[in-house]
Structure 1
Amino acid sequence: MTLRAENAKMVGKLAVVTAGMFAFGYLLVPLYKHICEATGINILSLSERQVPGGGTAGASVNLNTQVDTSRTITVEFDANARGPWEFKPATRSVDVHPGALTTVMYQFQNVQDRRMSAQAIPSYAPHQAAAYFNKVECFCFQQYTLEPGEKKEWPVAFVIDPKLSKDVKTITLSYTFFEVGGKTPPAPQS
């Protein structure tokens, strides 16, 4: 066999391997989707879902199987400001199902005539709920600076873990908003 014939044979083999790799990569997406549907893994990202009794729910239906719709928890929101701020939740309470993603807004305003920086510190009641209250997005994760008179609204997105004790019917999420980097009063003398 000549060198030219061997090279042509090698190019043919490489072309078959390349086509096979491309086909495998192309088929991974539907294969992955079918494996996920069969095992129940990654169910949140599927756009279509089989409905019990047969049929398809529809192209835009996302079913979250982690939501406990058998119970409802009332989440109350509280706001305290340590300093010259107007700080309050946009809504005082919401009823949520454990496992459901919920977003609420908090409103802030710097009522001073100077620029101020602050940060919020959360607390929970009952205290045992803190371990089951998972914040996905929260203004308490960082410090904020507001100009004189500036108003802002920031979200708190959270999920209550369905493993929370069924005894807990109400959770209070309280934030205290502190000025940071400002003048700190001296410690009290004993």
Structure 2
Amino acid sequence: MPFRSFAAALHRDNRHLFVKLAVVAALMFGFGYAMVPLYKAICNALGINVLSLAEKQTLLAEKGEANGNGQIDYSRSITVEFDTNARGPWDFKPAVRHLTVHPGELTQVMYEFKNVQDRTMAAQAIPSYAPMQAAAHFNKLECFCFNEYTLKPGESKQWPVVFVIDPKLPKDVKTITLSYTFFEVAGKGGVKLGEAPRGAGAAL
């Protein structure tokens, strides 16, 4: 084959290969870009928390869940009671026992933990609600629940719960009790209180 013909064929093959690689790269970029909203949609459908606090505040505003247009509903007041149960040698209590909030209002409550044993212990908390129908309208944006934590002997820590009550809460519900049961997890190392929970959100 003459040199010019060989060079031309080689150039043509290289050009075809470049076009194919460019198409593959474009498809991969598009797939990766589309994965972000797709991933969030799947996690939201499954109830997995993947949003930061700022993202969730923005999402609530965009969805208009507060008073239908992103505002706090000052026409209603809900009493939220904070109940704690410790199964084991723990001091576990909220900084306040109850608060009055408005639907759509962002609220934070601190919880205090102390290991009163002379040994390192791992534990976790599980929430419950009363009345049961309130659970679907109690949106926790930050919570220590369902994560395991480790405290050294006599160690004390604080951890927040940040929540918003959905204005779609039935009108006859005037009081909600948020109850946590904190119990030891035998043989588990956990994470220290004060450190970020595993998995960008922990189930709320």
TM-score of the pair, normalised by structure 1? 0.62
Higher helix share: 2
Q: What is the SS of the residue equivalent to 1:140?
A: coil
Question: Superposition pairs for residues 25-174 of structure 1, below 5 Å?
Answer: 65-174=70-179
Equivalent position SS for 1:139 = coil
* CA deviation profile, 1:29-86 (whole Å, cap 9, x unmatched): xxxxxxxxxxxx98959xxxxxxxxxxxxxxxxxx83321110000000100001100
Q: For structure 1, list consecutive stretches of 5 or more residues without a partner in the other structure.
A: 1-40, 46-63, 184-190
Q: Alignment RMSD, CA only?
A: 2.2
Identity %: 74
Q: Which stretches in structure 2 are left out of the alignment for 5+ residues?
A: 1-57, 63-68, 189-204
When residues 81 and 67 of structure 1 are mapped into structure 2, their CA distance, relative to the original with a 3 A threshold, is same
Distance in structure 1 (CA, Å) of the matches to 2:61 and 2:166? 16
* TM-score normalised to structure 2 length: 0.58
State the 1:182 CA deviation.
4.3
**What is the number of residues matched between the two proteins?**
125
Letter in 1 for 2:121: M
Moved over 4 A (4+): 41-45
Change (3 A) 1:44 1:131: closer
| Post-superposition offset of 1:177 | 0.2
